[in-house]
Each structure stands twice: as C-alpha cells, then as structure tokens.
Amino acid sequence: MQAVRRKIVAVMVEGGDLLDEWINVLQDAFDKLTDSPTKTYEREMRTVSTKMNLNIKDETVGLKKDLLFLERVKAEQSESPDSPWAVILSKIDFLSLLAPYHPINEETFRKECECTLRLLRLFVKPNGNNRKPIFITDWDGTMKDYCSQYATNLQPVYSAVGITRFAARFTRLSAVLTAGPLRGPGILDLTAMPIDGPVLFSGSWGREWWLGGKRIVHDDGISNEGFDALQKLDDEMKDLLHMNDFSLFALVGSGVQRKVDRLTLGVQTVFGCVRPELSNRYQDAVKERINRVDPDNHILIFDPSTTLEVEIVAHSSGVIWNKADGMDRVVATRCQSLKDPGNILICGDTLSDLPMVRRAAALNPEGVMVIFVGLDEKLRQSVRDIVENENRCCFVSCPDVVHAAMAQLLNEFS
C-alpha cells in the first residue's frame, strides 16, 4: 500500500497524472479494514495456539482521511483539468478535512492551527543573509500519529505531500530523527515521502542516516563484538518469531526493531491485548536466545524499559548518545551550522526530543523555534524554560494541526 501512496505523492510533488487505480488500491484496503470481522477498530489475529485482538484505528483513519483528501483533489481536477498541482492543492481546505479528527474538538484545532501558522510565518520570514532556515523533527507522535503496531505505522498521502512541499519550498535542510530503525521495517519503509527527496531520514536517534542513497552509521562507543552480538541475536529473533506461539509478537507494539546499538522488542500492546503468561514466556525465550549469543553475559544487557517493550543493548564505552548528537552529525555532513544567523525549527513530543531543543537554543538562542505535540504540561514548561520566549514556542494536540498549518502556509505562497 505504501508503494501506491508513494506514487501518488510523487505525482503531486513532481507532476504527472493521478491514476484511479491507485485510489482504488487505497479504497480496497479501507474496505477490508472496515468489513464485518472488524469491531470498534479491533481485528482478531490467530495463530495455531493463541489469538489476540489488534487495534487498527490509526491504519483505518489514515486511509479514510487519504480517501477524503483524494476525493477533493479529483473534484478540483475535474473543474480545472489543466491546472498545475500547486494550484489544485491550494484549493484543498485542510482545516475542514482534518479538524473533525482532533482529540479535543474542532474549535481547539483551529486555534492551535492559528498559533502554528503564526510561528511558521515567522520561521520562513526572510532574513538579512538570504539563507533559508533549518527544520528538524521527530516522527512518531510529532509528524505522524502513534499506531498500536509499529510495523503498520504508515504515513498517509496528505501528510507526505505537505511535509515534502514545505521542506522543498522553505528550508535549506530538513531532517527526520526517529528512535526507530531505518529499515526492517523502519522509517524508510513506513513513510510515503520520497526517501531521496528534500527531507533526510535517520533512525536510532540519529545514529544511522539515509544520505545519497546510502546508509551512513555513526557507531561511537560500540565495539565490534557488540555489533556482532546484536546481529546474531537479530538472527535468533527471526527464528524465534517463526515459532507458532511467538509469531504474533512481530505485530505487538514495537515488534522487533534492529537499531544501531540495540534491539527493541514489543512485549505488550497499549490496550493490554497480550496475555501476561504469553508475554512472560516470550521474554524468557528471548533471554534464552541472549544466553546463546552471550553466554558470559558481558556484551548484551536485557533492559525491561517499559511495560510495553524491552531493549537488549550492547555495552558501550561510556558514550551517551541522544538526538542532539544525531542532529549535529547531519548538520555537519550537509556542511551547515546551527550557529549561522537564521531560524531553526525543532518539532517533538517527548523528553527524548528536548536535547535537540537545548542544543539549538545554546547555539542559536535568537533563532530557535519549537513546536511540541501533546498535552503534557510539564513537558511544555520544559520547552518554555529552554527557549525563554513564548512567541517562539507553539503547543498542539496532534500532528494534523501541523500538517494543516503547513498546507495553509504553502497556499499563502503559491
């Protein structure tokens, strides 16, 4: 399905014809997700020995919004068949399209969109050096709604078109820093944006980047034996997931994510759909596989980080890596600097994104701007304390507010 979404995005960004057969693929997927076996966005998954309910709300709602978006696009095309894509897209009212899905209400959506639009106007405002600004963002929860299953956390068309056009039109550097991997599945598999387009992609908190069609890895502090042990354990996990009892864990939360310095494994869903006994057996089986790879227990660390996932981390030489380090690497690689006069927009939604805000604020206190998604007031206050200027902070409840504001800004410049 993402292959079709990417084709649609490429046409809208680069030019070409929007084929009905592509829209039909999305419609067929939506119809299958909403047929009779689905009850209140839940679908039963069965293996030989067990069963589990999967929540598919994000996948379903994403398709619904895409279909509504494409319906409006086709209507505009029928009225103005010779108009270029920029004109067609400028006629789409994203506020009315996305506001009904706001977690609070439509009025709040519009107020948050106004705030975001004011900040974006300030962000793209020309400065004395005639250099476009820099845009760095987290992904899950920031530019993309959270999904119960990481493996199906698929970006919709409307979102991909907006971010791609925004990055190309207004920025000299745009980059996504996500905690998940690049592949396997990772951000490169889940996005609908062109992976070699105006937005750069990273995984593992910016330890791995997709640059110029190649995977670039920053392995600071990780030994060769640590890399080897993680690869062997990753192979063991592939074998483990082929066992009937444990095959469903490929779709539980994080699934199995191979990152640069660790494996992240989903052991429970946010809705508690996995029987505790099965989750415990799975974790015991994982520990047994770790013991096969590292019998002396001196390379890999089993860390039950949350009730939803566990991490198996390779011992490091004391290097503590965060997203600010990943941001620094891509900025330097692209021969840019956060110190330059000009604006820097950082977008995030969790504590793990604050290091990027701190680094940008330290290097460019007059140019840093921040959009944070979510309702955590303590986190919002942390952002305010770092930026020290309320006019350069904006707080919204969901990613769609940012998408609508980006679309409106593009319309103003079309």
The sign of the dihedral angle between the CA atoms of 139, 144, 148, 152 is negative
Calculate ∠ Cα 355-359-364, nearest 5°. 150
Tell me the two tokens of residue 59.
């996948």
pLDDT of residue 276: 94
Tell me, yes or no, whether 389 and 265 share the same domain: no
Q: Which of 274, 293, 314 is a domain's end point?
A: 314
pLDDT of residue 112: 99
Tell me, yes or no, whether 142 and 243 share the same domain: no
Confidence of residue 273 (pLDDT cuts 50, 70, 90): confident
Cis omega (within 30 of 0) for bond into 185: yes
- Structural domain including 121 reads 2-218+322-413
Inform me whether the pLDDT recorded for 343 exceeds 80: yes
Tell me, yes or no, whether 81 and 10 share the same domain: yes
Tell me, yes or no, whether 211 and 122 share the same domain: yes
Tell me, yes or no, whether 333 and 209 share the same domain: yes
Q: Helix, strand, or coil here: 298?
A: coil
d(CA 96, CA 76): 16
Question: Mean pLDDT in the chain?
Answer: 95
| Cα–Cα distance list, 245 to 211, 274, 320, 377 (Å) | 39, 12, 36, 41
DSSP-assigned letters across all residues of 116-157: HHHHHHHHHS--TT----EEEE--BTTTB---SBGGG-PPPH
Give per-residue burial for 154-169: e unless 16+ CB within 10 Å, then b.
bbbbbbbbbbbbbbeb
Tell me, yes or no, whether 9 and 130 share the same domain: yes
**CB of 87 closer than 8 Å to CB of 414:** yes
User: Strand pairing partners for 78?
Assistant: none
Query: Which of 293-297, 303-307, 394-398: highest mean pLDDT?
Result: 394-398
More confident residue, 49 or 161: 161
pLDDT tens, residue by residue, 212-243 = 999 999 988 888 999 999 999 999 999 999 88
Among residues 147, 156, 136, 157, the alpha carbon closest in space to that of 353 is found at: 136
pLDDT tens, residue by residue, 185-217 = 999 999 999 999 999 999 999 999 999 999 999
Q: Which of 254, 283, 314 is a domain's end point?
A: 314
Confidence of residue 126 (pLDDT cuts 50, 70, 90): confident
pLDDT tens, residue by residue, 308-337 = 999 999 987 767 899 999 999 999 999 999
pLDDT tens, residue by residue, 261-270 = 999 999 998 8
pLDDT of residue 36: 87
pLDDT tens, residue by residue, 144-175 = 999 999 999 999 999 999 999 999 999 999 99
Please report, for the domain that includes residue 275, its CATH number.
3.30.70.3080
More confident residue, 47 or 282: 282
d(CA 87, CA 1): 27
Tell me, yes or no, whether 70 and 129 share the same domain: yes
Mean pLDDT in residue range 133-143: 98
d(CA 315, CA 227): 10
Please report, for the domain that includes residue 360, its CATH number.
3.40.50.1000
- From 58, 66, 140, 261, active-site residue: 140
| Cα–Cα distance list, 390 to 76, 357, 369, 398 (Å) | 39, 14, 10, 20
pLDDT of residue 107: 98
How many C-beta neighbours within 10 Å does residue 112 have?
25
Tell me, yes or no, whether 264 and 386 share the same domain: no
High-pLDDT (> 90) share of the chain, %: 86
Strands 344-348 and 368-373: parallel
Report the phi/psi class of residue 72: left, alpha or beta, with left for phi > 0 and alpha for psi in -120 to 50: alpha
Please state the domain count of the chain. Answer: 2
Q: Is 296 a catalytic residue?
A: no
Q: Which of 314, 338, 359 is a domain's end point?
A: 314
Tell me, yes or no, whether 15 and 48 share the same domain: yes
